[in-house]
Chain A
Amino acid sequence: MIVTPTLLVFGVQGLIKLGRASREAYEQYVRDRPASLPLLGTVSRTPVEQAAEFFRQPGNEAWVAAGGTFAAHWDADANGLREGIEHEGPIVAAWFTVCASAPSATPFEPARSVAFLVRQWEGDGPPPPWLRLALALADVALDFGEASPALLGPTGTSQPLLETVAALADRSRALLPDLNDPDQWTGDRWIRANFAQSLLVTVFRAGLTTLADNPGIVIREQHLQPLLAATIAPLRDGFEKAWANAPAGAQLGALVRWESIRDQWLPAMAVGAIRAVAQDRGFFLGKVVGGPGGSNAGQLVGALANSLLDEAAKLGGQDLLLRDTWIRFWSAAIGVIAARPELVVPAGTPAVHEQILRELVKQVAGKLTAVPAGVNRALLLELAATSLEVVNDSLPLMLRGTGWNGVGRDVVSRVIEALLPVLREGDPLLLRRLASPAQAVELVTVVLGEIAASPQLVVGGVAGPEVSAVVSSIAGAMAAQGAELLTAGGWLAVASAAAQAAARNPGRLFKLEGAAASGAGTELVRGILLQASELLEAGKPPVLSGAVLSELLVEGLNIVAARAATPAQIAELVGVLRTLAREAASPDGLILPGSLPPLFARIGLQVLAKKVPAAATVVQLLEGAGQ
């Protein structure tokens, strides 16, 4: 509730009216509200004391009772450790052994026992670095133990993940300081070491979440290790750099900022990476992209992660939608890299590949940054991610190879450029025609799916202008006069037909803005929509709307895809439609509105073939169509 001055005054006045009752209520509130009462302080326990406590508990006495394994250490009268002998080593070691071999172990109890074991050292000075990491990872694992017991244990599906994280911690000195050297984890170095450790813990948690949510996923350490290392390293490097460059006194700020980036980005990035591994393990088994001397999976993912985090550092903490969409883009890009790396990175060396991936992210980010205020940047980015995926899914498999070098990034760029004009603030016409942003994504999916399947349209490492032309033509048509007479579903059907027509006739039907002619497809769509709008404005029944209009547009696109048409002939076709529509709009006309699409398809072809004059009467047109 927002407290306004008026509300405040009202409240005080109300309380004054209540008088004594309100005062008593207030006093009672003050008296009875929570208060901190003193507690006795906690005690510190040495391992020996804790071991003794364990053997004193009901159920554990047999170990120290007469005849028990550790009876020599126990004074039954004092119910404590025997005086005069050394307990430090033997009793603690025995205690650990007993705990670890508890007969009541449940399937995930071993993990809990281990955590219990190592935790005992907590009270005996700072645990060594390796133990701290183990504790932190065990903590995460135990969180999942209750809900997903199958995940844990030596044969659990999480084992490869844990092995991966452990391997990253142990083998990669570049990521973590020496886990066995406490000196590396003290002083100022401790904060940096701790940050690196937290990256591993975050990845582990994200990984377990992914495995718990997708029980079918199978991963292997050797696939996962390079990928996760590449995902983590840029974050660690970014933090190190910020730490080193921060002026004295501002280093804490660097830590906080990078912790925030870590928490906001890393989990989802790790999930995306693990899913990519699960989908295409073959790629991560050391496949090299770009021929001998090219990049491996880790290098590519590392370059992408670097670029993404550069953008992350620029984003405000509040821009959650855009952040989530960038992560979507990350997942899509990794998926494409894994499945068809040549779509994103052509032949070349790791340095070239890194540059290309940086350019991809930079290009997309640059376009998003440049869009006018109010444009739905998250939607544009979502469309970019969709474009990558669609291109990946739709390109003909037989044409995999150098011919597709880098075409993915080109398509992404063209889609954003094409849609930008119709997503402007205050007039998001594209979204107004579609029921939801999801349908905008579907529109891009439909159009690109058709186009990418046509090799002529996407060649030589670049997407042909047809990609932009079709997308922008359809988007433009959706924003044109008369477009409101079509449903969102109808527009998707029209978009599909337009893309199919374009794919069959590259470079003929749709042309970019600024070309001498906009293309027969574009002209016809505009003309039909204008007719629909004029009919409505003339007070006629809206026979050109909804499903009929949608089918008419599809049929019109089929006509121009089947037979070349000049601009003059397109005008004639529109004129024919006007004649037919007016007749259908007449209550006792010869044409039923529902039959307009098939009639237009037949008559249109006759007109283009000059078998029927465009200026013919309705009766002549119908006769020409064999009616």
Chain B
Amino acid sequence: MTSGQQRGRLGRLALCWALLALLVSGCAARTLDDLSASYERLTAEASQSEANRRTASASGDSMIVPPGANLGPAFASISREALQAAQNVSSSDLETRIAFYRLAASSAHFALVEEARSGPGTPGGGAAALLNEAQSRGSEACAQLKTPPQRDCAYLAVAGPLATLAASSETWRLLKPQDKVTQPDRVRAILDELAGDADFDAQLAGYQAGRQKAIALAPIGASVGGPATAQRGGSVMDFFQLNDARVACLARKRADLAVWAANRGQAPSRIDRRQAGAAAAAAEQRYRDTYGGTVQCGST
């Protein structure tokens, strides 16, 4: 081998190492763009799965809705990667870091809801831990900015209680007790799982507290600027208004379930019907005070 050939070989080797280094670094931390795309694809699948569940629920053949698609582990994986990527972002670029935390929290939300539906996807129920970390680190970063990004910080303020409410209601929100009960044991089991009054009131209070912080960041009715949206085509305000309405509907659903169960001797012992009704009325009143108009649960 001549020295020229040797130099050429060494040069090619160096190039290979450089390419390998690039690939490795690319794998180590996925970009915000890349992770966001994966997350959006998963949420689209989750929406379809939810629509299927609702259709199955509406068929009337069964009171119990079937499980959704098993997307929890995939959401949890994105949450984990987003948290890792946030750590790699320069401390001078807090906006991007916050965006990663938002992504980590919202992914953990879906993972948590699926765990509530079908059991933890990973040992130890990792979604809650991911959510807590994303929310606390994200809120910390938001607090360091004079003008924090409204959408992301408003969501992070409410992410924890929102996910808790979603998870705790997951097993009963589509429950449709009717006279022809086909699976009474399963219905009873679900009713027994309903959070007690103190727990549920605490969840509502937690949501409300987070909601107050969010309003401070993205005042209702104020221009939030940019393409920040809750759903495509919506605004931050739409996001909160819709969630506020659904919180009220959840509370009302729970109170109605309590009445139904009581009338059939299936009342969960931990639920006081009047207290549940009062919680629902309070949630409805808060909605009216904030937005005007009434909550229409049939259409939410």
Interface residues of A (CB under 8 A from B): 27-28, 30-46, 48-50, 52-53, 56-58, 75, 77-81, 83-86, 88, 122-126
Q: Is the CB of A44 within 8 A of B173?
A: yes
Known A-B contacts A30-B36, A31-B32; the reply to A78 vs B246 at CB < 8 A is no
Name the A residues within 8 Å of B176 (CB-CB): 44, 46, 123-124
A27 to B90, CA, bound (A): 13
Q: Is the CB of A31 within 8 A of B96?
A: yes
B66 beta carbon closer than 8 Å to chain A: no
Known A-B contacts A43-B174, A88-B179; the reply to A78 vs B274 at CB < 8 A is yes
A36 to B246, CA, bound (A): 17
Of A34, A42, A81, A83, which is within 8 A of B246 by CB? Answer: A42
B170 beta carbon closer than 8 Å to chain A: yes
Greatest chain B CB density within 10 A among A32, A46, A77 is at A32
| A135: min CB distance to chain B, Å | 13
Name the B residues within 8 Å of A123 (CB-CB): 58, 176, 298
| B285: min CB distance to chain A, Å | 10
Of B32, B60, B231, B274, which is within 8 A of A39 by CB? Answer: B231
Of A31, A43, A78, A85, which is within 8 A of B250 by CB? Answer: A43
A344 to B159, CA, bound (A): 73
User: Which residues of chain B in 18-77 are interfacial with respect to chain A, using CB atoms and an 8 Å cutoff?
Assistant: 31-33, 36, 39-40, 43, 50, 54, 57-60
Q: How large is the interface on B (under 10, 10 to 19, 20 to 34, 35 or more residues)?
A: 35 or more
B215 beta carbon closer than 8 Å to chain A: no
User: Which residues of chain B in 219-237 are interfacial with respect to chain A, using CB atoms and an 8 Å cutoff?
Assistant: 226-233
Q: Is the CB of B297 within 8 A of A125?
A: no
A35 to B39, CA, bound (A): 9
Q: Is the CB of B106 within 8 A of A37?
A: yes
Name the B residues within 8 Å of A52 (CB-CB): 256
Name the A residues within 8 Å of B202 (CB-CB): none
Name the B residues within 8 Å of A42 (CB-CB): 54, 173, 246, 249, 300
| B194: min CB distance to chain A, Å | 13
Name the B residues within 8 Å of A81 (CB-CB): 256, 259
Name the A residues within 8 Å of B280 (CB-CB): 80
Name the A residues within 8 Å of B232 (CB-CB): 34, 36
**A58 nearest CB neighbor, chain B only:** B294
Q: Is the CB of A39 within 8 A of B246?
A: yes
Of B162, B178, B179, B226, which is within 8 A of A38 by CB? Answer: B162
Q: Is the CB of A83 within 8 A of B149?
A: no
Q: Is the CB of A43 within 8 A of B33?
A: no
A374 to B72, CA, bound (A): 58
Q: Is the CB of B243 within 8 A of A39?
A: yes
Of A75, A79, A125, which is within 8 A of B58 by CB? Answer: A125
Interface bits B142-167 vs A (CB < 8 Å: 1, else 0)? 00000001011001000000110110
Name the A residues within 8 Å of B273 (CB-CB): 78, 80, 83
Q: Is the CB of B110 within 8 A of A38?
A: yes
Q: Is the CB of A44 within 8 A of B231?
A: no
| B171: min CB distance to chain A, Å | 11
Name the B residues within 8 Å of A34 (CB-CB): 227-229, 232-233
Name the B residues within 8 Å of A44 (CB-CB): 54, 57-58, 173-176, 253
A46 to B180, CA, bound (A): 13
**A119 nearest CB neighbor, chain B only:** B298
| B216: min CB distance to chain A, Å | 18
Interface bits B109-141 vs A (CB < 8 Å: 1, else 0)? 110010000000000000000000000000000
Name the B residues within 8 Å of A45 (CB-CB): 253, 297-298
Q: Is the CB of A122 within 8 A of B227?
A: no
Q: Is the CB of A53 within 8 A of B163?
A: no
Greatest chain A CB density within 10 A among B149, B176, B273 is at B176
Known A-B contacts A27-B93, A43-B246, A53-B297; the reply to A122 vs B58 at CB < 8 A is yes
| A45: min CB distance to chain B, Å | 6
Give 26 A-B contacts (CB < 8 Å), ordered by A residue. A27-B93, A30-B32, A31-B149, A32-B228, A34-B229, A35-B40, A35-B102, A37-B106, A37-B151, A38-B166, A39-B239, A39-B246, A40-B162, A40-B169, A42-B249, A48-B260, A49-B253, A50-B298, A53-B297, A53-B298, A78-B274, A79-B277, A83-B259, A84-B263, A126-B58, A126-B60
